[in-house]
Amino acid sequence: VKKTKVVVVGGGFAGLAATMKLAKDERVEVTLVDKNNYHTFQPLLYQVATTGLEPGEVCPTLRAIFREKDNVNVLMGEMEGLEAENSSVVVDGEKLEYDYLMLAIGGRTTYFGNESWRAAVPGLKGLQDALEIRTRFLNALEQAETETDEKRKRELLTVAIVGGGPTGVELAGALAELKNHVLQEQYSGFCLEDIRIVLIEALPRLLPPMPEGLGNYTKETLEEMGVEVILEEPVSELEERRLVTEEREIRAETIVWAAGIEGRPLVQKFCQYTTKKGTVEVLSDLRMPPHPNVFCAGDMVHLKDEDGDPLPGLAPVAQQQGSCVADNILALIEGENTKSFHYFDKGSMAVIGRSRAVANVFSKISLKGPLAWLAWLFVHLLSLLGFRNRAVVLVRWFWSYMGWRHSARVLNPAYLPE
Amino acid sequence: VKKTKVVVVGGGFAGLAATMKLAKDERVEVTLVDKNNYHTFQPLLYQVATTGLEPGEVCPTLRAIFREKDNVNVLMGEMEGLEAENSSVVVDGEKLEYDYLMLAIGGRTTYFGNESWRAAVPGLKGLQDALEIRTRFLNALEQAETETDEKRKRELLTVAIVGGGPTGVELAGALAELKNHVLQEQYSGFCLEDIRIVLIEALPRLLPPMPEGLGNYTKETLEEMGVEVILEEPVSELEERRLVTEEREIRAETIVWAAGIEGRPLVQKFCQYTTKKGTVEVLSDLRMPPHPNVFCAGDMVHLKDEDGDPLPGLAPVAQQQGSCVADNILALIEGENTKSFHYFDKGSMAVIGRSRAVANVFSKISLKGPLAWLAWLFVHLLSLLGFRNRAVVLVRWFWSYMGWRHSARVLNPAYLPE
């Protein structure tokens, strides 16, 4: 029997969820294409950036994930073209035919149209970003050890994070813990108190999609931990080591841009109906018009929820969409109708520090403090792929919890600023 | 009371051993200088190269190691000059004064004078080498998945290791286990059996300093594991992807040069009496003539044992020399005489694979097989610095042992060949 060929482009949360589900059906043969050889578990990237975890612990390889699935092929390569009329995609110059195609190439950090900002300051979307931030921060501390110019020293010891969403909050909190607990007694050229961590948000509060109480708790907690939280100040100028708002100028060796996502440029190339944010307009069953056998999912997709608000760029949205695409492809194979996508919102969470987190369960119940933190631990450990990863991460977290020791602190010249 | 200033250049095994010992004496203030922010646990680098361990697990940072020592300062920087007449060294343009200086800058891979070979093929001395080899090998397999030219495919699937000492043996064994156990069921464009691992040694047997029986056992074991062992064939030509001996030409995407060490070029710059191998001639108490307050230790030093053979470039030699330098500096502070260095040879070992190793205890008792392997495990875990590293490494090894899963497999573009 000839198998139905499905090509999935992108090994993020959406692509993985679809491939996992499709792999269970023996009538289907899946080719999973990604430009990297690994999946990025983005929710823990901030721990890679802050010396808590190593790359392999949050980035399992796609081949290892699908090791036991005989009907899944992994192909490392870059999608360069879509030839929907021939039902084929071009990957690294080679044509790949499909019966059904799923595009799930994700998004990228948005700089709201300021493309010069992109070159100047990293986001925190990919593993390379995380390694760049880690190296930059560790190197700044090494430089500060011997810096005699006071102004330059202050700049070296300043970290500015733009964006008060979960990524910005988690990064700021983890940096504060590095400062308060991990780096103790290890530097002699400056006081750890002189490390300045600034979190800047354009809106009037942190974690905007969460209830206001959780945003306020987060702000207070971060401030207790020594983070300067600045609200209602959009960034108007940004270059390497310098950031300007209406109220102030901040000079910082390490600046991280964590202010939301937009569609990748590839979306314009492959998709006919796109939004201003560079995302794709899809049908309610996640098919991409005008092609009846092409689906899209994840951060590249523009969809609204029942209230007319755009769905957030979160892992659960991507996973549920990936799963829905798989169901719809299987339905089409059966000759049945596709179903519309509905997001089941289990809520969202952000960790601020040890024993401190906020969670908004089912968008109804607000949790904060140790209980939210335990929920965060549980959910993130469970969703980490693979037992060995999980075991290694657990051991690291245990040691971290016991003694505030982080061991992923190699200063790697490959990621040094110029 | 004014403290005695000791500067230690190099955070390898020798520098660490000396700093550890000096740190116990409150009359001494130590500045430990290294161009990296970490110590490299070289005996496990081959596991970084073969996807078993991550950088932070074998490279703890120097600051973390000496966290609790108030009289130790760590300085990341490159030593650029020695001004012995002023008792000072120049580090990154800044002068650093000392009462006693210890140089322990290590060695580098020797290409026996063929400097063009150095640019073409990495050794396995540093972390960057290990990451480069790992990336190159993983990338070769990804390329082989889609390669249609049979000759190029064979090249992609070939790894050649030059040098049958412990590094070459351990690397060849670990690659064979990757091939035989870890990478199963994950590639569809080639058979794992087509991966060719070649180990080439110029002398008539493997592990030359060990008893002949252990060398033979190692060869047989590696051959059982699928490694091609080629003896008595010195390499006469070497370039990227190509290696020539008198008997054959081997084309291999991944070539590793593991054929011994020589002194670093810096040795010529700082030291007056050097050997042809670029190492330093020192007095029996490890002082470097003509300076009465400068000591040397580790791979940069040329010393002979009682039988007139040069001491091997092993961690225990470096550690014992470092410890001896610390004792001699403390003796001089006390106004006592220094002592000559004597190497206490506890033996040497090499791991070939799971439950298979060779050990030569006190250079008298030959062990092979599971017992030698347990001894290897025990010694290496014990000597890994830091509990968290050790715990994480233990968990990784446990999972590896249970299920042949390796998780340090991120293909990092920073280390891709051009």
Please judge whether B407 and A415 are an interchain contact, meaning their C-beta atoms are less than 8 angstroms apart: no
Q: Is the pLDDT of residue A42 over 90?
A: yes
Q: How far is B390 from chain A (nearest CA, A)?
A: 10
Alpha carbons B82 and B271: distance in angstroms, whole number:
9
Residues of A in contact with B145 (CB under 8 A): 75-76
Q: pLDDT value at position B410?
A: 76
Higher pLDDT pick, A53 / A341? A341
Q: How far is A40 from chain B (nearest CA, A)?
A: 10
Q: What is the DSSP letter of B170?
A: H
Q: Is the pLDDT of residue A401 over 80?
A: no
Average pLDDT over residues A244-266: 95
Q: Is A190 on the interface with B (CB under 8 A)?
A: no
Q: pLDDT value at position B388?
A: 62
Q: What does the block give as tokens for B285?
A: 């108490």
**B95 burial via Cβ count (<10 Å: 0-12, 13-18, 19+):** exposed
Write the CA distances from B374 to B32, B80, B346, B368, B370, integer angstroms.
34, 43, 16, 10, 6
Q: pLDDT value at position A388?
A: 61
Q: Which of A61, A386, A399 sits opposite B388 (nearest CB)?
A: A399
Please judge whether B145 and A386 are an interchain contact, meaning their C-beta atoms are less than 8 angstroms apart: no
Helix axes B315-334, B13-23, angle to 10 degrees: 30
Q: Which of B59, B388, B407 sits opposite A410 (nearest CB)?
A: B59
Residue B402: which pLDDT band, with cuts at 50, 70 and 90?
A: low
Higher pLDDT pick, A401 / A295? A295
Q: pLDDT value at position A411?
A: 74
Q: Is B404 on the interface with A (CB under 8 A)?
A: no
Q: Is A404 on the interface with B (CB under 8 A)?
A: no
A372-410 burial, b if ≥16 CB within 10 A, otherwise e? bbebbbebbeeebebebbbbbbebbbebbeeeebbbbbb
Q: pLDDT value at position A387?
A: 58
Return the percentage of chain A with pLDDT > 90, whole number: 78
Residue B385: which pLDDT band, with cuts at 50, 70 and 90?
A: low
Q: pLDDT value at position A57?
A: 86
Residues of B in contact with A59 (CB under 8 A): 410
Q: Is A411 on the interface with B (CB under 8 A)?
A: yes
- Sequence letter at residue B228: E
Q: Is the pLDDT of residue A415 over 90?
A: no
If you count residue pairs, one on A and one on B, with CB atoms under 8 Å apart, how many are there?
Answer: 157
Q: Which helix (H) or strand (E) holds B74?
A: strand B72-76
Average pLDDT over residues A300-327: 92
Q: pLDDT value at position B162?
A: 98
Whether the ω angle into residue B122 lies within 30 degrees of 0, i.e. cis, is no
Q: Which helix (H) or strand (E) holds A15?
A: helix A13-23
Q: How far is B270 from chain A (nearest CA, A)?
A: 24
Q: pLDDT value at position B408?
A: 74
Q: Is A3 on the interface with B (CB under 8 A)?
A: no
Alpha carbons A24 and A240: distance in angstroms, whole number:
48
Please tell me the pTM assigned to this model.
0.92
Q: Is B61 on the interface with A (CB under 8 A)?
A: yes
ipTM of the complex: 0.89
Please judge whether B145 and A75 are an interchain contact, meaning their C-beta atoms are less than 8 angstroms apart: yes
Angle (nearest 5°) at CA A251 between A245 and A257: 65
Q: Is the pLDDT of residue A290 over 80?
A: yes
Q: pLDDT value at position B257?
A: 97
Q: Is the pLDDT of residue B48 over 90?
A: yes
Q: Is the pLDDT of residue A406 over 80?
A: no
Q: pLDDT value at position B418?
A: 63
Q: Is the pLDDT of residue B9 over 90?
A: yes
Q: Is the pLDDT of residue A337 over 90?
A: yes
Q: Which of A395, A414, A415 sits opposite B391 (nearest CB)?
A: A395
Q: Is A145 on the interface with B (CB under 8 A)?
A: yes
Average pLDDT over residues A11-31: 96
Residue A379: which pLDDT band, with cuts at 50, 70 and 90?
A: confident
Q: Is the pLDDT of residue B392 over 80?
A: no
Please judge whether B392 and A392 are an interchain contact, meaning their C-beta atoms are less than 8 angstroms apart: yes
Q: pLDDT value at position B363?
A: 79
| Contact assessment for residue B121 and residue B115, using Cβ atoms and an 8 Å cutoff | no
Segment among A97-106, A197-206, B391-400 with least mean pLDDT? B391-400
Average pLDDT over residues B291-298: 97
- Sequence-ordered alpha helix ranges (H) in B147-249: 150-156, 166-177, 212-224
Q: Is B47 on the interface with A (CB under 8 A)?
A: no
Residues of A in contact with B400 (CB under 8 A): 388
Q: Is the pLDDT of residue A385 over 90?
A: no
Helix (H, G, I), strand (E, B) or coil at A306: coil
Q: What does the block give as tokens for B33?
A: 């200088």
**A8 burial via Cβ count (<10 Å: 0-12, 13-18, 19+):** buried
Please judge whether B57 and A403 are an interchain contact, meaning their C-beta atoms are less than 8 angstroms apart: no
Q: Which helix (H) or strand (E) holds B30?
A: strand B28-34
Residue B122: which pLDDT band, with cuts at 50, 70 and 90?
A: very high
Q: Is the pLDDT of residue B404 over 80?
A: no
Helix (H, G, I), strand (E, B) or coil at A5: strand
Residue of B61, B192, B411, B416 for testing the chain A interface, max A β-carbons within 10 Å: B61
Residues of A in contact with B38 (CB under 8 A): 409-411
Can B246 be counted among the known catalytic residues?
no
Q: Is the pLDDT of residue B308 over 90?
A: no
Q: Is the pLDDT of residue B380 over 90?
A: no
A406 HSE (CA, 13 A, CB side): 24
* Torsion from C-alpha of A315, A320, A325, A327, nearest 10 degrees: 150
Q: Is the pLDDT of residue A93 over 80?
A: yes
Return the percentage of chain A with pLDDT > 70, whole number: 96
Residues A294, A296, A301, A303: is their CA dihedral positive or negative? positive
